[in-house]
Structure 1
Amino acid sequence: MPAGAVPAALGANWTGTGVEFALFSAHAEAVELCLFDEDAPAERARVPLERTGDTWHARLEGVGPGQLYGYRVHGPYEPLAGHRFNPNKLLLDPHARLLSGAIRWDDATYGFLPDAEEADLSFSESDSAPFMPRCVVVDPAFDWRGDAPPRRPWSETLIYEAHVRGLTRLHPGIPPELRGTYEALGHPAIVAHLQRLGVTAIELLPIHAFADDRFLVQRGLTNYWGYSSLGFFAPEARYLGPAGLPGLKEAVRVLHRAGIEVILDVVYNHTAELEETGPTLSFRGIDNAVYYKPAPGDPRRTFNCTGCGNSLDLSRPAVVRHVLDSLRLWVEEYHVDGFRFDLASTLARNPYDFDPECPFFAQLAADPVLGRVKLIAEPWDIGEGGYRLGGFPPGWGEWNDLFRDPVRRFWRGEEGQVPGLVRAIAGSREIFEPSGRGPCASVNYVASHDGYTLADLVAYERRHNWANGEENRDGHGHNHSWNCGVEGPTDDPAVRALRARQKRNLLATAMLAQGVPMLLMGDELSRSQGGNNNAYCQDNPTAWLDWERGAEEDPALPDFVAYLADIRRSHAALRRTGFLYGIPDPGTGLKDVHWLKPDGGEIAAGEWQDEHRRALGMVLGSDAPDGRMLFALLNSGDAAIRFAVPGLGAAGWAPLLDTGIPTGRPDAPERTCQAGGTFIVEPRSVILFRGIKQTG
């Protein structure tokens, strides 16, 4: 590149003989590149950058991978106008590919004097460099050896939500030096476990570089979940193993070879710099007025619809470009297959209200790289109008809390839950059809990282979050959970048996529903967090998966989950791309779904509001391309119910699944229920039959 030419990409890009440095700032007056030696508290050199438009840049020959650097940015310190430049603060490159070290919290990391009156209007002259991480120049080269993305259709997808460290930290089959690292994700023990379960995609909690918030460090805790981003281009360094960055790429390659996609949970809605009284670490000192959305009519304050102090302003082209560049890097350089967007409603606020035609959505859909990966929204934030389930564009999936909550409430035995349960099982047509999407837009789950684990969902009715240091005030207060009669651990065999059945009922409902099922890490091994439903700061055995204890707690549960996945994979009726309408076929008179009462009759329009209904039957698959029909019975009541066995195109029905059996496999699968007969469904059970075709 000729001297003075603008680099093609922002960040620090190694050319083979030197490094091109480039930084965006629209309002800066000068930018200095700071070069550091290992472990040095202060920079050994400052290099002034040249400005072309809003890009500040320089090319340094003889500099290469491993070079540590940061920036100092000069400009107006005018908080009332939204400008918070302070060259006394060492700033992280928003495009850095790797960070070295952690923040050592000190008042010097703030652009103002924290103890001053109207503190954020004051100006700090303390140098933050001794307390800041360093950016690292990296060589992105890697031999992918013919890697190709699995490109699983949504209809064939089973997601497993996991944490890099939590999944692998205690696995006895993984070498100690690899446990808790990216490399462990590709270890044969992890891959084999995922394959055994039938998982087709692993969704990783945030691996973008993130901060341990100051208030957590003061409590002796860490930001375990990682929802406090420092940079969107750098993998979190605490998960690096002996192989470094290539270890993450190798893990992706190995998972792909096993047919498993990799989805990243990404946090583009806010950063670790918090509100206007937060630290100056990167974006705030580079161009606060561009990167952060100001409060309406008050540039001094940050608009906070995330609950985390600030909101990135994706109504601005430069910020949209930044996020798209980050997403593209993860697809092109790390070969990831998709993204789950945390508090995704924030990304579509244009400028303050949710706009389904916002610039970010439009450019994302049109991007030739990003337009072909999986996109999943957490379809809400905490701001006004932020709950937007069903409001995302075609091609997106969405976490569906209107699946989670009715299913939980039905199985805990609440009355009046059948209508919501049926809507959820049928793919939430009322929610997703208006946007032109099918049932695969619904990501169905009963447990996720945010809340109780599956085991705790059936063992606790009250949160037990004292270890978080917030006097048990944090976390959800309404979880629709049921402890089955005893709060927490118990040796009572009846309670333990009921909990085992309830876990299977919840899992079966998620796996037999239309849409895309998602499992939480360790639910197949009865992982418990001791009733902590907000373990975001518990980087310890509370949140790690104890593989050995899990295997002892309910040894047949992994086989049950694997069997559910096999049933789903084997029956096209469970993996529809179009909604169920319940309209009779003109030729056969059969419907794509029949909702049945215990007497065998269909539930009529006026009967859905029966508050006391706790059981129903479902027949589907008469129109399935593989001709395989299914008959499901669900009973959340305390008493057994006798169901009339329907015909509806089948000569009879053979048992396929029983949640009262540890493995789910019926003891006598050859036993057939003849049409016109009856079948007794035990309390709190799911029974599934396969249809036997009529002959003649």
Structure 2
Amino acid sequence: MKRTKIKNGQPYPLGASVREDGINFSMVNSSNKECGIVFYRKGIEQKERILFDQKHRIGNICCAFVEGITASNCEYNFFIGDHIFIDPYAKRIVGNEKWRSGEFEHLLLRGGFDNCVFDWQDTAPLHLPYQQSIMYCLNVRSFTRHSSSKVTKKGTFEGLTEKIPYLKELGVNSIELMPAYEFEECEWDETDIATRQQIAYQVAHIDEKLQLDQEPKRAKRLNCWGYKEAFYFAPKASYSASGNPCEEFRSMVRKLHKNGIEVIMQFYFPEHIKQGYILEIIKHWVLEYQIDGVHLKGSRLPLTLIATEPLFADIKIICENFYLHEIYPNGVNPSVRTLGYYRDEFMCDMRRYLKGDQDMLKSFQYHMRNTNPKCGVINYIANYYGFTLNDLVSYERKHNELNGEGNTDGTDYNLSWNCGAEGPSRKKAVRQLRHKQMKNALGFLFTAQGTPLLYAGDEFGNSQYGNNNCYCQDNETGWVNWNGLSTNADVFAFAKELISFRKNHNILHLGEPLTMLDRFGQGYPDLSYHGEEAWKAQLESYNRHIGIMYCGKNESADEGDYVYIAYNMHWNAHRFALPSIANHKWVSVICTEENLVISDVERNTEYIDVAPRSISILIGRMLSEEERKQKNSLMIKDNTLQKTGVIQNKRCAVTSAPENTTKNNQKNKSKKGK
């Protein structure tokens, strides 16, 4: 070992900072106990202990500059009194490189160094507006761990990058990573007396190689998600295929940015985490890893401090709530919306409407148009907590028995409907209805004004077999099963079609409130509601169907863009009268069940019969010159015949009734005859 020399250090930044001729160490000690650094060689063997004395102390910060050591050949921990602990500012954690499950001993984790000199190749955060974002939430390990993922580096950052072509095919341009910083996946009840005695012995015999005296102890459970106190400055080592998590994470971000995909990281902070510490963590990831945003979870978050930090002026900051009156005083709206609401309201109400609950139309109206001039609004119908989309239409009760908690964990408030059978079913009618319901749910998500977020695998019907809390399932229950791409190919194709349609129609994602006025000068309001009569919605509590028309501008801004969406979550079919658009005809483009558009030339009206529990999306297509002439000719002819009395009250004759309606009419006639 090279001879070391101890000098006065710098208090900031806290943690370990590598310099040319040594390393600056800085730690917080709020007690009067002696404290310092424990050095290790590469591996477990202890190397040297350095005590901080009073001349190394400034306030409650103890710091020293150590000459003669390099980051390439040592690891470290801090100690205060008898307590050895990992530097909470460590840029890398050593000792947890292998994902663990089963029986394990407590590992001696150490702080390491980020030695990566990375070339970003002129890439930078993308700064996509909320209204242009298609978000996708995933867990790095479970996303590609299943053998069906067909990636070579399963369950890693590199494995995720192998799925970039898939994400682009789907239409995703923003991924939200569940905790991807370092955390201990094995959980114990608490540090027992024997373990505390071993730590005390370790401090007293600092220069000796220690052996654990006890048999390995079984972990209480596995935590695959990481929503716990963690080592927030370091990427998770077991998510690295290369053995260098810092470089691999940066490489993943760079590749995603090159392909037009943002990276948003989730952070969970228990309530005892200091608010200043949280701010430093976010700064670190923004500066060192060029992430595009953060989704903050916890009960005591410094939201106003974070939202007003100049460094974060152009990154997404997502949370359940913000103190907007503090962040934007005097009612001023930001020029760029960086804050984003992430709430369960959309999920709960849309699930209720999907299964046909009563009195949901007004809530449905609200969520479909909901935007905020100060914040983005992120919508989702399924997330990591709760049922997947497939399970939402396949189970009415949670089935968390495998979690080992007596099925008491996870929410009981699922708002689900199993379509007639609990769990897997061989009945064709049940399976078809489930597929249709999944498509209906996707229809809600991608036609609402807010930013849509998909949970990984929902686009092709991934199932967790009724488990709505897979935090400890590092197996096929918790992993994404990519075989759904073939078994549920119709759902995947529908999801892609919806995303593409949304992107091609700006009126579906304006990013500003719809006014229900003729804001684009097309002669029609930007938003209007309809029902069995055009321009008149039927919002009674017992109704479950509504039509919504949007009027905007096409991409070249030279023509109107007309979109009409008929939603019918009733178990009966309903006929919608389509509003008449001058020189346009309604054309069905996307539907969850084939529906018939009917023209009544005499009334100059079009109708659509919408099947039970289905959605139809139509666009107003401009008539060709020939079609206009033909339409005008028919109208002139009908008017002439009407005036001469040739036609009297035969308007129904021009409207062809669907087969079911005809049969019902015949039945009614035969009953009357009897």
**TM-score, length-scaled by structure 2:** 0.79
Deviation at 1:17, TM superposition (A): 2.8
Indicate conservation of the 8 Å contact 2:392/2:418, yes or no.
yes
Indicate conservation of the 8 Å contact 1:590/1:622, yes or no.
no
SS in 2 for 1:247: helix
Counterpart in the other structure of 2:653: none
SS in 1 for 2:472: coil
Deviation at 1:43, TM superposition (A): 5.6
Residues 67-111 of structure 1 show CA distances to partners (whole Å, capped at 9, x for unaligned) of: 2111111xxxxxxxxxxxxx222111110111122599xxxxxxx
Change over 3 Å in CA distance of 1:568–1:13 after alignment to 2: same
Q: Which amino acid aligns with 1:645?
A: L
SS in 1 for 2:409: coil
Counterpart in the other structure of 1:95: 89
Counterpart in the other structure of 2:612: 683
> For this pair of structures, how many residues does the alignment match?
567
Deviation at 1:539, TM superposition (A): 1.4
> Which one has the largest radius of gyration?
2
Q: How does 1:588-599 map to 2 (within 5 A)?
A: 590-599=524-533
Q: Within the alignment, does 1:252 sit opposite 2:185 as a pair? A: no
Indicate conservation of the 8 Å contact 2:149/2:481, yes or no.
no
Deviation at 1:20, TM superposition (A): 1.0
Residues 305-339 of structure 1 show CA distances to partners (whole Å, capped at 9, x for unaligned) of: xxxxxx135xxxxx333222211111111111101
Counterpart in the other structure of 1:45: 49
Q: How does 1:602-641 map to 2 (within 5 A)?
A: 602-603=536-537, 608=539, 610-622=540-552, 626=557, 627-641=560-574
Cα distance in 2 for residues equivalent to 1:130 and 1:397: 39
Cα distance in 2 for residues equivalent to 1:42 and 1:130: 17
Q: Which moved more, 1:29-38 or 1:254-263?
A: 29-38
Change over 3 Å in CA distance of 1:215–1:655 after alignment to 2: farther
SS in 1 for 2:253: helix
Q: How does 1:307-386 map to 2 (within 5 A)?
A: 311-312=271-272, 319-343=274-298, 345-347=299-301, 360-379=302-321
Cα distance in 2 for residues equivalent to 1:369 and 1:586: 37
Cα distance in 1 for residues equivalent to 2:430 and 2:411: 25
Cα distance in 2 for residues equivalent to 1:259 and 1:499: 33
Q: Within the alignment, does 1:653 sit opposite 2:613 as a pair? A: no
Cα distance in 2 for residues equivalent to 1:267 and 1:677: 52
Q: Which amino acid aligns with 1:637?
A: H
Deviation at 1:154, TM superposition (A): 1.2
Indicate conservation of the 8 Å contact 1:453/1:523, yes or no.
yes
Counterpart in the other structure of 2:26: 22
Q: How does 1:461-472 map to 2 (within 5 A)?
A: 461-472=396-407
Deviation at 1:557, TM superposition (A): 2.1
Q: Which moved more, 1:441-450 or 1:207-216?
A: 207-216
Change over 3 Å in CA distance of 1:588–1:378 after alignment to 2: closer
Change over 3 Å in CA distance of 1:140–1:55 after alignment to 2: farther
Change over 3 Å in CA distance of 1:476–1:197 after alignment to 2: same
Change over 3 Å in CA distance of 1:62–1:688 after alignment to 2: same
Q: Which amino acid aligns with 1:258?
A: N
SS in 2 for 1:160: strand
Deviation at 1:46, TM superposition (A): 3.4
Q: How does 1:547-558 map to 2 (within 5 A)?
A: 547-548=482-483, 550-558=484-492
Q: Which moved more, 1:11-20 or 1:580-589?
A: 580-589
Cα distance in 2 for residues equivalent to 1:65 and 1:222: 32
Q: How does 1:146-185 map to 2 (within 5 A)?
A: 146-170=122-146, 172=148, 174=150, 176=152, 178-185=153-160
Deviation at 1:29, TM superposition (A): 4.3
Q: Which amino acid aligns with 1:91?
A: F
Q: Which moved more, 1:443-452 or 1:37-46?
A: 37-46
Cα distance in 2 for residues equivalent to 1:653 and 1:208: 51
Indicate conservation of the 8 Å contact 2:599/2:605, yes or no.
no
Indicate conservation of the 8 Å contact 1:652/1:672, yes or no.
no
Cα distance in 1 for residues equivalent to 2:21 and 2:263: 33
Q: Within the alignment, does 1:206 sit opposite 2:179 as a pair? A: yes
Counterpart in the other structure of 2:451: 516
Gaps of 5+ in 1: 74-86, 105-128, 271-310, 314-318, 348-359, 381-391
Change over 3 Å in CA distance of 1:103–1:71 after alignment to 2: farther
Cα distance in 2 for residues equivalent to 1:374 and 1:492: 45
SS in 2 for 1:229: coil
Deviation at 1:28, TM superposition (A): 4.9
Cα distance in 1 for residues equivalent to 2:457 and 2:577: 37
Q: Which amino acid aligns with 1:208?
A: Y
Deviation at 1:585, TM superposition (A): 5.8
Change over 3 Å in CA distance of 1:410–1:258 after alignment to 2: same
Residues 123-179 of structure 1 show CA distances to partners (whole Å, capped at 9, x for unaligned) of: xxxxxx985311112214212222222221111000000010111112556554x21
Indicate conservation of the 8 Å contact 1:97/1:137, yes or no.
yes
Residues 408-453 of structure 1 show CA distances to partners (whole Å, capped at 9, x for unaligned) of: 10110111111111111111x5xx4xxx526xx2100000111110
Cα distance in 2 for residues equivalent to 1:417 and 1:228: 36
**TM-score, length-scaled by structure 1:** 0.76
Indicate conservation of the 8 Å contact 2:187/2:219, yes or no.
no
Indicate conservation of the 8 Å contact 1:140/1:333, yes or no.
no
Indicate conservation of the 8 Å contact 1:327/1:370, yes or no.
no
SS in 2 for 1:690: strand
Q: Which amino acid aligns with 1:3?
A: K
Indicate conservation of the 8 Å contact 2:548/2:565, yes or no.
yes
Indicate conservation of the 8 Å contact 2:9/2:25, yes or no.
no
Change over 3 Å in CA distance of 1:328–1:419 after alignment to 2: same
Cα distance in 2 for residues equivalent to 1:20 and 1:649: 74
Counterpart in the other structure of 1:290: none
Q: Within the alignment, does 1:134 sit opposite 2:110 as a pair? A: yes
Q: Within the alignment, does 1:407 sit opposite 2:367 as a pair? A: no
SS in 2 for 1:628: strand
Indicate conservation of the 8 Å contact 1:658/1:685, yes or no.
yes
Cα distance in 2 for residues equivalent to 1:90 and 1:204: 31
Q: How does 1:175-324 map to 2 (within 5 A)?
A: 176=152, 178-187=153-162, 190-211=163-184, 212-215=186-189, 218=218, 221-245=221-245, 246-268=247-269, 270=270, 311-312=271-272, 319-324=274-279
Cα distance in 2 for residues equivalent to 1:244 and 1:655: 52
